[in-house]
């Protein structure tokens, strides 16, 4: 080891590390904490290279050193963020949930925020007026209304004048009534597609000329249900899957314009997307009224009426802290090399990895255990009871 330290390999590693470290320290700018962190990262390749050289020889040590240098550079480059400056961002669905929290968060960081709300006179909009800076502008924006989308574009363009819009965050979305896909009325499928997919596409297409001016970012709020199949989310998951595919295609097509596109696939967070008890009653009534008699008979009244209990207990399984989602969106907006897909939330990547890497039967088994329910349709309970009697 001592001989290696004084060898040409050792001096080469030290020389490259010095250059590497100076570059990283320049990336850290004025923050002492960042400088100390970057210094540690710059020393890591040399230490691993020298240790590997002791066991693998000079050539092996040099190979390890180069690989670790490259890996470190890629990793740290992905963490580097652009300055906020006077960057302007449009957020849809800012009345409640993630959109509301994101509007406050970005405003506190110094962004010029355009917060699109479904109700400009509602409590969510009023809270943004009271708590945020003068940089934040509220926009009446129902993303399913083409006229309102166009009016929002004209207002943003007028305020920005000749400057481009740095980011669009398509956050507005609806959950619908979580139920078996066979039970959901077609209106639920259409509503989910209209808001979660067509609305996001409409906003994206309308504001892309402003994003092109700044070579900015398009961030689409998808869902874990948009990347993997989950029971009771046929309508919601299908609409989010469409949005995820749209994001992927746009990421490829818009790269030539310098626009970067990201899709956020969070796990369960407490956002209020499930709606209110009044809305649940309305959705339940619509579901029951549209069911054919034989389907109602097969599932049974107790199973159908028990679907609403899923909504009542949903917040218990969702995280209240939205900071992982906000951090992912901020990275997508400011990172020099943003990811194409983000999976914020504990374990959000696990079902996706199982779905992609394991046989489908194993994934289905995993999901059935993860989302197991005591509620079983009446026809299946009857057949099971008959089997036991035999």
pTM over 0.95: no
C-alpha–C-alpha distance, residues 125 and 305, integer Å: 34
Angle at 169 between CA 350 and CA 105, to 5 degrees: 85
Kindly tell me the burial class for residue 31, based on how many C-beta atoms sit within 10 Å of its own C-beta (0-12, 13-18, 19 or more).
exposed
User: In this model, does residue 300 exceed pLDDT 80?
Assistant: yes
* Structural tokens at position 363: 């994934």
Q: Are 250 and 207 in contact (CB under 8 A)?
A: no
- 245-263 residue pLDDT tens: 999 999 999 999 999 999 9
Out of 105, 153, 233, 236, pick the active-site residue: 236
Q: Are 182 and 295 in contact (CB under 8 A)?
A: yes
User: In this model, does residue 20 exceed pLDDT 60?
Assistant: no
Question: Which positions ≥6 away from 259 have C-beta within 8 Å?
Answer: 208, 211, 212, 215, 216, 217, 218
Of the pLDDT bands very low, low, confident and very high (cuts 50, 70, 90), residue 33 is very low
Return the higher-pLDDT residue of 364 and 3. 364
Please report, to the nearest 10 degrees, the dihedral formed by the alpha carbons of residues 237, 120, 105, 145 taken in order: 40
User: In this model, does residue 105 exceed pLDDT 50?
Assistant: yes
C-alpha–C-alpha distance, residues 303 and 294, integer Å: 14
Give the CATH fold of the 88-353 domain.
Answer: Rossmann fold (3.40.50)
C-alpha–C-alpha distance, residues 353 and 363, integer Å: 10
Instruction: Choose the weakest-confidence range: 82-96, 165-179, 286-300, 321-335.
Output: 286-300
- 55-70 residue pLDDT tens: 555 555 555 555 555 5
Any idea where the domains of the chain sit in the sequence?
A: 2-79, 88-353
User: In this model, does residue 85 exceed pLDDT 70?
Assistant: yes
Q: Is position 105 annotated as part of the catalytic site?
A: no
Average pLDDT, the chain: 82
Phi, psi of 121 (to 5 degrees): -105, 5
Instruction: Choose the weakest-confidence range: 118-122, 140-144, 209-213, 277-281.
Output: 277-281
* Structural tokens at position 333: 């907006």
Q: What is the pLDDT of residue 97?
A: 92
How far CA 269 is from CA of 22, 223, 259, in Å, comes to 41, 10, 28
Mean local confidence (pLDDT), 306-334 = 81
User: In this model, does residue 275 exceed pLDDT 70?
Assistant: no
Mean local confidence (pLDDT), 367-382 = 75
Q: What is the percent of the chain with per-residue pLDDT over 90, rounded to a whole number? A: 48
């Amino acid at each position: 080891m001592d001989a290696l330290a004084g060898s040409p390999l050792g001096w080469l590693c030290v020389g490259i590390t010095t250059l590497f470290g100076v570059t990283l320290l320049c990336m850290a700018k004025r923050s002492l904490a960042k400088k100390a962190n970057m210094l540690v990262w710059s020393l890591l390749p040399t230490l691993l290279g020298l240790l590997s050289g002791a066991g693998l020889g000079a050539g092996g040590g040099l190979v390890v050193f180069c690989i670790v240098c490259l890996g470190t550079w890629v990793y740290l480059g992905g963490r580097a963020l652009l300055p906020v400056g006077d960057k302007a961002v449009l957020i849809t669905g800012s009345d409640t949930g993630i959109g509301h929290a994101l509007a406050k968060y970005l405003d506190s960081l110094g962004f010029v925020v355009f917060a699109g709300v479904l109700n400009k006179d509602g409590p969510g909009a009023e809270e943004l007026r009271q708590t945020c800076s003068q940089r934040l502008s509220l926009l009446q924006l129902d993303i399913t209304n083409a006229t309102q989308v166009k009016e929002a574009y004209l207002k943003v363009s007028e305020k920005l004048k000749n400057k481009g819009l740095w980011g669009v965050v398509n956050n507005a979305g609806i959950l619908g009534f979580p139920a078996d896909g066979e039970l959901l009325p077609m209106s639920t499928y259409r509503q989910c597609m209209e808001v979660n997919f067509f609305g996001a596409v409409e906003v994206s297409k309308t504001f892309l000329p402003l994003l092109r001016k700044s070579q900015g970012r398009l961030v689409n709020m998808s869902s874990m249900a948009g990347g993997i199949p989950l029971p009771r989310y046929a309508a919601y998951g299908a609409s989010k899957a469409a949005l995820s595919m749209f994001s992927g295609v746009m990421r490829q097509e818009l790269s030539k314009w310098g626009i970067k596109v990201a899709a956020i696939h969070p796990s369960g967070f407490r956002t209020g997307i499930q709606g209110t008890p009044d809305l649940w009653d309305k959705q339940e009534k619509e579901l029951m009224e549209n069911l054919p008699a034989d389907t109602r008979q097969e599932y049974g009244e107790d199973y159908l009426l028990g679907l609403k209990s899923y909504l009542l207990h949903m917040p218990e399984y969702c995280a209240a802290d939205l900071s992982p989602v906000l951090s992912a969106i901020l990275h997508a907006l400011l990172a020099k090399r943003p990811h194409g897909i983000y999976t914020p939330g504990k374990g959000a990547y696990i079902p996706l990895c199982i779905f992609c890497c394991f046989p489908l039967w194993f994934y289905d088994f995993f999901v059935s255990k993860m989302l197991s329910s005591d509620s079983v349709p009446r026809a299946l309970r009857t057949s099971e009871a008959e089997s036991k009697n035999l």
